[in-house]
Amino acid sequence: MDVTGTSKSCNEIDAQALAVAVFKDEKPTSGLLQHLDTATGGMIADAIDSEEFNGKQGDTAYFHVSSEELKARRILLIGCGDRDSYKAAQISQMGGTATRFLRGKSVKTIAIVPRSEMDAERVAQTAAAGAVMGLFEIDKYRTKEKEKREIKSTTIVIEGADKKAVQRGADRGRIIGESTNFTRDLANEPGAWMTPTIMADRAKQVAKQFGLSCDILDQKQMEKLGMGSLLSVARGSDEPPKLIVLKYEPSKFRKSKGDLLALVGKGITFDSGGISLKPGENMELMKYDMTGAATVIGTMRAIAQLKPSIPVLGVAPCSENLPSGKATKPGDVLRAMTGKTIEVINTDAEGRLVLADAIAYAKKLGATKIIDMATLTGAVSVALGDVNTAILGTDQELIDGVISAGKEVGEKFWQLPLDEEYTKQIKSDIADIRNIGGKKAGTITAAAFLKEFAEETPWAHLDIAGTAWGDPPTPYRSKGPTGIAVRTLVEFIERSAQAN
């Protein structure tokens, strides 16, 4: 889909449909809404007066018009709730609702009017990203009842704004939206069609297309590096593990500064639980257990195009976790790349095992700050549901930066504690640490495990298990992978570049 930005007035926009933000209890007594009401012969006022439409979040009203005052022949009103609460999340959702609704009406060209008084470039970026993300579907492998309708072009309209700023925002939003959808597509792939090898191939394609450096470590290389923790997870599968390393480096960056942010993402392309087998119900969803790695690759895809002025490293340890005669068993002791020994209590706590060596390797490659992300614990869904992503870490400035970036783009993060007392729960009788800490504070003790490998490097951990998959669908988003954290990480990286 082509995405453009304009500062023209709505009556000049050559599109089949206008999608317009409307606020709770707003009346068409002035400005754009009054103009559109006149064009519809008073139908908008009638819909509002009859309470058929009142501007609440998610409300929609659709009109066919024939007026010389408008080139568009359809108008979609999208309720955005209270004006005072109209921020990034609502603007993004408004954009997604517009594209999903109008595609369902077989509209080919649309104009989205977000009607926000915030910075025009930022509004255009947010609306464009939401519009692109709204078009993602999980029906890739259907042969019938597949969504084949397409929107060819979307224009983001911010009347009277700087035209170049609006276009910059629209361009950036398209890149971020497409990269988020790329992450969602990876996460939606069946495990048989998204093995570690295939995932590595997809990363290579991204690197080649957008100018990233790419290195793929195979099993022998990992063995040479002493990555016994990561390799223990792969032992039960016939599919070989891969460690994906992507790097973005701006041409003008001064290497003497020595700053290097690493993004590390869990890439378990299918998780049966291993010997500690999961229940069969809903196990098919464990194809999405590589969403952390997909988020890393999608974020690197975006920043390669946006070109911030700082380097970024992306590390994605990929493996299957399956039971077999070769699989790691509960009670086994592993030796990680750092030399630390790990007692395996539960083989279904495998994500932290692959991340441990990946974090250590990121440090070996020179990372001075690390953000890892993973569908790591079921406990996080109990604690925070599907609303907030858990964030923990050792560097408060880094944690605060991620939370702030999330607020800017409309993604929510909630910090959980990581006191030293939690580390006592992962103390092993026969090794340095064990891979689970019991029933209490499962999300926190998982982070405490990872902390052992981040050591003194500033580090933050995102547990996305509760927010990486959305069900049921919403007016602005399909059921399935959400692409959580891609927008936040891009925002964080760009802020870091500006502060550098």
Q: List residues with catalytic annotation.
A: 278, 352
Q: Are strands 413-415 and 333-335 parallel, antiparallel or unpaired?
A: unpaired
Alpha-carbon separation of residue 100 from 56, 61, 103, 108, 187 (angstroms): 18, 14, 5, 12, 21
356 three-state secondary structure = helix
Backbone angles phi, psi at 386, to 5 degrees: -110, 25
Closest C-alpha among 407, 305, 286 to residue 348 = 286
CB neighbours (10 Å) of residue 120? Answer: 23
The contacts found for 113-118 with CB under 8 angstroms, 24 or more apart, are 113/10, 113/18, 113/19, 113/20, 113/21, 113/32, 113/157, 113/158, 113/159, 114/21, 114/156, 114/157, 114/158, 115/20, 115/21, 115/32, 116/21, 116/86, 116/91, 116/158, 118/87
Q: How many whole angstroms separate alpha carbon 312 and alpha carbon 329?
A: 36
Contact 135, 99 (CB under 8 A): yes
Q: Which residues contact 279 (CB under 8 A, 6 or more apart)?
A: none
